[in-house]
Structure 1
Amino acid sequence: MKHILLFGAGKSATCLIDYLLVNAPRQKWHVTVADHDLMLIKSKTGKSYYVTPAAIDIKDQAARQKLVQETDLVISLLPPPLHIFVAKDCLQFGKNLLTASYIDPEVKKLEKEIEKAGLLFMYEMGLDPGIDHMSAMKLIHSIEKKGGQISAFRSYCGGLISPESNDNPWQYKISWNARNIVTAGSSGATYREKGKVKEIPYEHLFDQTKTIHIPSLGKLAYYPNRDSLGYMSAYKLEDIPTFMRATLRYPDFCEGWSTLVKLGLTDDKEKVQTDDLTYFKWTTQHMKVDKQLSNEENIANHLGISAKSKIIRQLKFLGLLNGEVINLGEQTNASVLQNIIESRLSMEQTDKDMIVMMHEIEFERRGMTTKLHSFMITQGEDNMRTAMAKTVGLPLGIMAKLLLQDKFNLTGLHIPILPDIYNPILKELEDYNIRFEESFE
């Protein structure tokens, strides 16, 4: 019997756990799910014979390493800063590692040791990053195989609320780690457009948004995502004039979030004492307040907008203009904001989320210029088995199955851009209604 160890039982783990346990009898697996919250683990694993819940502190080295030593394969859905603990354990005890997170500088330092040990560390095996890499590389390889010369590549992806559950002025609800939502874009963005490198600082990232048309959905806004240039060599598109990876949102979200950034409410460096601080005073900590004006008028004047504007409605929806005391002790602004959106933008039990992905590739073949559009829309079932949980968890589960079946002869630190990886995984994802449609211009 093969043993799989999963670290993390949060929002993105639900469908992965389902997949592992459904496949466990036939594949002869036993799964250990480790998290600090035992009740959370049990809520997702039930009473399955094929699972062992393990409540541990991930920073408890002895407890963590004991689990790693006893397994055949490790999957990590921990917060990104904690992956390095697991990665070093896997290297020490000779275990393969799968995760949905970006390759970070710390694990990059281990690249030669991973290769020397004959291990496979597959990072970015989730949604974005993950399915975006696999679906994009399938298109790129197909175009190049037919003699096409690619001149522009743009890839967009977003976790959104499904239209029938889109009922608040932010046009957004949380389907994944709220911390990642608050800190998204904090390092700014870099991409290439018509041969020129564009660098967008964080403070302007959300007010530079443009829109694209998605079939059956209409216009969605997008903003550049992180450092797109770092993927040009991975995709072997180093010389093309235009290359951008971007995040999709409904337009209203970007306008509102740009306001929160301008007010300094996403800052994660300096701490504030919130025990006697009202939400309005917290919101206006970086501006002068005229006591003769209403809270709405003060904010509106500072932002140069109408007190009856959509942005003011968004701030009121989050409770940022009221006189209630926050009472969370000493926190960074980002932590306060995280607490607020977890309370105000959480999904209701019957809410459904939606993943939208679009690739746009311009290429020339036989003297003719063509634009290829490839898009995917996947809906969740409810607030637990979300589209986000499906698209993050299922690629990891399928990769785990193939790896334990010895389908790959691959070692080192990788992301899923090889045909031997993406072909079987994309094919099986279609069984779960995760598929792409293509059109040409």
Structure 2
Amino acid sequence: MQLKKHLVTASYVDNAMSMMDEKAKNAGITILGEMGLDPGIDHMMAMKMINQAHLKKGKIKSFTSYCGGIPSPAAANNPLAYKFSWYPAGAIRAGQNPATYKSQGETVHVNGNDLYDSAVKFRIPDLPAFALECLPNRFSEIMATLARIGLFNDETHPLLQHENRPTFRNFLCELLKFHTNGMDEAPVGEKLITERIVELGHCKERGVAVKAAKTILFLGLNEQTEIPVSCQSAFAVICHRMEERLTYSDTEQDMVLLHHEVEVEFPDSKQTEHHSVTLLEFGKAKNGKMTSAMALTVGVPAAIGALLLLVNKIKTRGVLRPIVPEVYIPALDIVQAYGIKLMEKAE
């Protein structure tokens, strides 16, 4: 503020930032937030669709938005069909946040502990090859099972406080309540883990229990390897293993998928239209180096925001979000000119 320089960020405009609005105006600068993917392109696409409907005197009957950073099909080669392009602990904690949304005119609240259980299957009609799972406002039935086993508990675990470090296998047996006597040599394999998950009531469907068991084995949680001293909780243990086993190789592509659906009602003609827009972007390899789709779709909008300020296309001062035409119209044009395609459809 003292330097009187504009600021562009992909972060949310929170209350603390909003309170800087008057100071930014007095300093003659613009603080442009939410210029990434989500938030960012999602807001801009939404406002474009909504404002276009309003210009035609339409009424928004429903608005649904989906967004995720996931592996490309070729890279989804593990039981979770997921990999981390950022810190696993942050991603898992985000999946334990409470969510609130509106459906059929009613406000729905989902407790953070129930978020994984609220996942629903979803397919985009124009992209039928993608079998997706969606969570309200924030991954899956497998993750819900792992959570019930206790693998996301971040409290210090007594077994992990011992100077003599337990093995991953010992710790898994503890969580699954296996009697350790006689278990030292017994194979802890997929069948045994599956049966135990079902017996303990962690999962009602055997098919999901099998997937959870496969995930546990893939992460090496049954291995006779000592758990590092840095891991003092079950949460730290699984994050450690996920960092090792669920990361992208140098040649693997990630993928970003953003999809909006808007139902517009036109009172005059009593007709209803269904509008959708989809962004599908893959990581790109250039000169032997992979740039992730997440980096592209977060970084490009931020750069566009800076460009629009540099050429004085954004004249409004204060704290801004990209939900005004002054920002989202030129920004979306440049996003597409850069090669990030937005597939629009109206029925």
CA distance in 2, matches of 1:409, 1:279: 58
TM-superposed deviation, 1:182? 2.1
The corresponding residue for 1:156 is: 66
Match of 1:397 in 2: 303
Q: Where do residues 301-316 of structure 1 align in structure 2 (5 Å cutoff)?
A: 301-302=199-200, 303-304=202-203, 306=206, 309-316=210-217
Q: Which residue of 1 aligns with 2:42?
A: 132
1:372–1:259: structure 2 CA closer, same or farther, 3 Å change rule? same
2:259 is aligned, of 358, 366, 389, to 358
Judged with a 3 Å threshold, the aligned counterparts in structure 2 of structure 1 residues 340 and 374 are, in CA distance, closer, same or farther, namely same
Q: Deviations over 1:271-302 (max 9, x none)?
A: 34466133244456555333367642544532
Q: Which amino acid aligns with 1:377?
A: L
Shift of 1:413: 2.0
Structure 1 pair 109/322, CA: closer, same or farther in 2 (3 Å)?
farther
Q: How does 1:326-337 map to 2 (within 5 A)?
A: 326-329=227-230, 331-337=232-238
1:22 maps to none
What amino acid is aligned across from residue 279 of structure 2 in structure 1?
M
The secondary structure found in structure 2 opposite 1:348 is coil
Separation in 2 of the partners of 1:278 and 1:193? 46
Does the 8 A contact of 1:203 with 1:262 survive in 2? no
Alignment of 1:84-233 (within 5 A): 91-214=1-124, 215-216=126-127, 217-225=129-137
Letter in 2 for 1:390: L
Higher relative contact order (CA 8 A, sep 6+): 2
- Contact 1:265/1:283, CA 8 A, preserved across alignment: no
Letter of the 1:354 counterpart: M
Aligned to 1:255: 141
Q: Which moved more, 1:275-284 or 1:215-224?
A: 275-284
CA distance in 2 between counterparts of 1:339 and 1:93 reads 42
CA distance in 1, matches of 2:14, 2:233: 24
- Taking a change above 3 Å as real, the CA distance of residues 284 and 107 of structure 1, as seen in their structure-2 partners, is farther
- 1:278 counterpart residue number: 167
CA-to-partner distance for each residue in 1:183-232, whole Å, 9 max, x for gaps?
Answer: 1132210001111110111121111112222223343111111xxxxxxx
Shift in CA distance, 179/425, structure 1 to aligned 2, threshold 3 Å: farther
Map Cα deviations across residues 365-413 of structure 1 (whole Å, 9 max, x no partner): 1210122121111111147401111001000111111212222112222
TM-score by length of 2: 0.84
Show the counterpart of 1:417: 323
1:324 to 211, 222, 225: 225
- Counterpart secondary structure, 1:207: helix
Q: 1:81: which partner in 2?
A: none
Deviation, structure 1 residue 433: 2.5
CA distance in 1, matches of 2:25, 2:174: 50
Q: Which residue of 2 aligns with 1:288?
A: 177
Matched with 1:374 is: 277
- Whether the 8 Å CA contact 1:379–1:386 is kept in 2: the answer is yes
Q: CA deviation at 1:358?
A: 0.7
Partner SS, residue 319 of structure 2: strand
Q: Give the letter aligned to residue 379 of structure 1.
A: F
Contact 1:176 / 1:388 at 8 angstroms: preserved in 2? no
Over 3 Å counting, the alpha-carbon distance change for 1:282 and 1:140 in structure 2 is farther
Seen in structure 2, the aligned counterparts of structure 1 residues 284 and 391 have a Cα distance that, compared at 3 Å, is farther
Percent pairwise identity: 34
TM-score by length of 1: 0.67
- Three-state SS of the structure 1 residue aligned to 2:274 is strand
Distance in 1 between residues matched to 2:261 and 2:295, nearest whole Å: 25
Q: Residue 339 of structure 1: CA displacement?
A: 2.4
